[in-house]
Amino acid sequence: MAGSIQKIGKKFRVTKELGKSQSGKRLREYVYAATEAEAKKLLAEFEYNQQRNTLVESSNITVSEFFDHWMENYVKYNCEETTAYGYRNILYKHVEPYLGRIKLQKLQPTHIQQYYKYLMDEKGLSPNTVRKHHANIRKALDYGLKQQFVYRNVADAVSLPRLNKFEGRAYTKDQLNTLLELVKDTKLELPVYLSAYLGLRRSEITGLTWKEGVDMQNRILHIEKVRTSAGKAVVIKKPKTDKSQRTLFIVDVIYELLRKTQVNQAEYKKILGKDYNDSGYVFTREDGTPYRVNTVTEQFSDFLKKHKLPKIRLHDLRHTFASILHSEGVDLKSISEALGHSDIGTTNKIYTHIFDKTHKDTLSTMSKALRKNKEKRSSNV
């Protein structure tokens, strides 16, 4: 028999028969379950894997050593640097100090459950951040399952904290016009206008180049590269999805702003000479050096505070872009394509909270229809 179940106190012990050692000693492994149903499930999984010859042999590898193996043999070759940086940040700064010394095959759902409790109660992390940790751990253990380091993914049995839904804010037309007036002829004019008028992301603005991204003759912007960061390293890559790679018409106000930017850069290049860094980027410092990716976000926050404007993120100008277009009757599909979303469902999910929650236009249509019908009936009498 592959194993057995025995009730001990209030828990159920599952005994896994692993065979015999070279000396003839029986090898066993014990795990505990809170309920008999869970114990039966554990035993059934063990027997299934044993029958399929996929049972993992006992190993001394720790959780920490396994994560190192996963990073070196999977993440290194299959993930972008920004993704790999996120994994390293979570695993090495948070997960390993708490779970790293546990033997991988001894890792249980309760270990992970207590880790999530620790993150919220001791570290003060949000449920959303805890879910990111969970996604990371679960993905790594899925790899371990496929490579037969473990015979089940224990992260699947963990209960997650309720997700706190984040809702971005949007400026009204009046608030946006005020911002656009105040930001003129400042360092923030270009990124704010590109975000407000075209719905560009921060990474798209900082990654925009004159040669590949701007076609002044045909008045087209090509969004084909983004510039982001992974820790202190700057990463230049393609946008996350194919739909994010898009072409956008350069409206008059943006055309004039780009022309002004070209003139300014030419003047600085003439003044600084060899000290000018001709980086080719559209959004740069006076010496031509592209801004640090996070700088524009920090400057935007300081600007709003200085001018006592309602606090929003730079990214919320995309929300404003979507909200105003929707209020002007632009259909959701067109808004989605302009924003570079993968599908219309993404747009609806992200921005539904800033659209008209009272359904004024929809419900008013019903009233108008009945009123017209009533007037028509009256005229026929």
* Rounded-to-integer distance, Cα 234 and Cα 243, Å: 23
Q: In angstroms, what CA-CA distances link 254 with 70, 194, 201, 264, 280?
A: 46, 7, 16, 15, 18
- Structural domain including 22 reads 3-51
* Rounded-to-integer distance, Cα 209 and Cα 78, Å: 28
pTM of the model as a whole? 0.69
Residue finishing a domain among 157, 181, 205: 157
Does some domain include residue 183?
A: yes
Sheet holding 220-223, edge to edge: 214-215, 220-223, 246-249
One domain for residues 126 and 178: no
Does some domain include residue 89?
A: yes
- 315 by DSSP, 3-state: which? coil
One domain for residues 149 and 19: no
pLDDT tens for the chain, residues 1 to 381? 578 899 988 899 988 887 766 566 777 888 888 999 998 988 888 777 766 655 555 567 899 999 999 999 899 989 988 899 999 999 999 999 999 999 998 999 999 999 999 999 999 999 999 999 999 999 999 999 888 888 889 999 999 998 776 666 889 999 999 999 999 999 999 999 999 999 999 999 999 999 999 999 999 999 999 998 877 788 888 887 888 899 999 999 999 999 999 999 999 999 999 999 999 999 999 999 999 888 999 999 999 999 999 999 999 999 899 888 888 888 888 888 888 887 777 676 666 655 555 455 655 667 677 777 767 777 766
Does some domain include residue 164?
A: no
Does some domain include residue 366?
A: no
Number of structural domains found in the chain: 3
One domain for residues 205 and 302: yes
One domain for residues 220 and 329: yes
Radius of gyration of the chain (CA): 29
Task: Check if the beta carbon of residue 193 is closer than 8 Å to that of residue 257.
Answer: yes
Does some domain include residue 363?
A: no
Spatial CB neighbours of 94, under 8 Å, sequence gap ≥ 6: 119, 123, 133
One domain for residues 186 and 329: yes
One domain for residues 201 and 343: yes
> What element of type H or E holds 102?
none
In this structure, are strands 246-249 and 233-237 parallel, antiparallel, or unpaired? Answer: unpaired
One domain for residues 238 and 191: yes
One domain for residues 46 and 82: no
- The DSSP 8-state label assigned to residue 288 in this structure reads S
One domain for residues 150 and 122: yes
One domain for residues 341 and 303: yes
* Rounded-to-integer distance, Cα 225 and Cα 273, Å: 28
CATH of the domain at 153: 1.10.150.130
CATH of the domain at 267: 1.10.443.10
